[in-house]
Amino acid sequence: MGLYDDHVLPIVIHAVCSSPLVMKMRARAVPRCAGVVLEVGAGSGINFALYDPALVEKVYALEPSAGMRRRARRNLATSPVPVEWLDLPGEQIPLADNSVDTVLLTYTLCTIPDAPAALAQMWRVLKPGGALIYAEHGLAPDAGVAAWQHRITPTWKQFAGGCHLNRPIAQLIHDAGFVHAEQDAAYAEGSPRFVGHMFTGLALKPR
């Protein structure tokens, strides 16, 4: 891991992920988490403050980047819920089958190198009846915007920590076996379309 990934990227990601638009979207998703929660790609821990301590027993914060975990120290210290780091990637979740009540994904599925493999792991650890709650960005529905997303992604991901602009988020979640109870996709107001097509939802692992 180079200087850019370890020191510069965590500062950039933290700044982008704290923007008012992103904060508004995460504020709708995080307080819905309940029980034992697995947050995949917890980053700088911006979500920690938004968990409802009346609903959440414990959070497993999976984050493979040491730089991001360092950046999260302040949020960890003030978290209203107990947090335990898991320092592995989402493709290798070190938890037992059917052991968590909620999986949370915020702006992470774009970045995980093997998204289907990571979703298969999330499915494995989620209890039947448990929920995957997500707020992500991804593939736009307009052909013109999508063409640009496909064109830009190979270069973009070199500088943006592996972020893909062109992932069909809801489809990937569906393909992993989750059943959507709620889903929404729309361009965020005030955001460039190539990066601002937002997916939010709640999908269940059926009993």
Ligand X SMILES: C[S@@+](CC[C@H](N)C(=O)[O-])C[C@H]1O[C@@H](n2cnc3c(N)ncnc32)[C@H](O)[C@@H]1O
Measure the N-to-C terminal CA separation of the chain; round to a whole number of Å: 41
- Near ligand X in 94-113, by CB under 6 A: 106-108, 111-113
Q: How far is the CB of 118 from ligand X (least distance, A)?
A: 6
Q: Is 46 in the site for ligand X (CB under 6 A)?
A: yes
Nearest to 4 by CA among 91, 65, 72, 86: 65
In angstroms, the CA 202 to CA 135 distance is 9
Nearer Cβ to ligand X, position 128 or 156? 156
* Strand segments (E) across 63-116: 83-86, 100-106
Return the residues of window 24-43 that contact ligand X according to CB under 6 A.
40-43
Two tokens, residue 104: 């949370």
Question: Which 144-203 residues touch ligand X, going by CB under 6 A?
Answer: 161-162
Give me the least distance between CB of 183 and ligand X, in Å please: 19
Q: Quick one: 8 or 147, whose CB is closer to ligand X?
A: 8
> Which one among 29, 56, 79, 90 touches ligand X, defined by CB under 6 A?
90
Give the HSE-up count for residue 32: Cα atoms under 13 Å, Cβ half-sphere: 20
The type of residue at 120 is A
Q: Can residue 89 be called a binding residue for ligand X (CB under 6 A)?
A: yes
- Amino acid sitting at position 204: L
- Residue 120 binds ligand X, judged by CB under 6 A: no
Q: Find out whether 134 and 109 touch, Cβ atoms under 8 Å.
A: yes
Minimum distance from residue 13 beta carbon to ligand X (Å): 5
Which one of 89-97, 145-153, 177-185, 197-205 is the stretch in contact with ligand X (CB under 6 A)?
A: 89-97
Candidate residues 31, 64, 168, 196; the one interacting with ligand X per rule CB under 6 A: 64
Distance from C-alpha of 104 to C-alpha of 125, rounded to nearest angstrom: 12
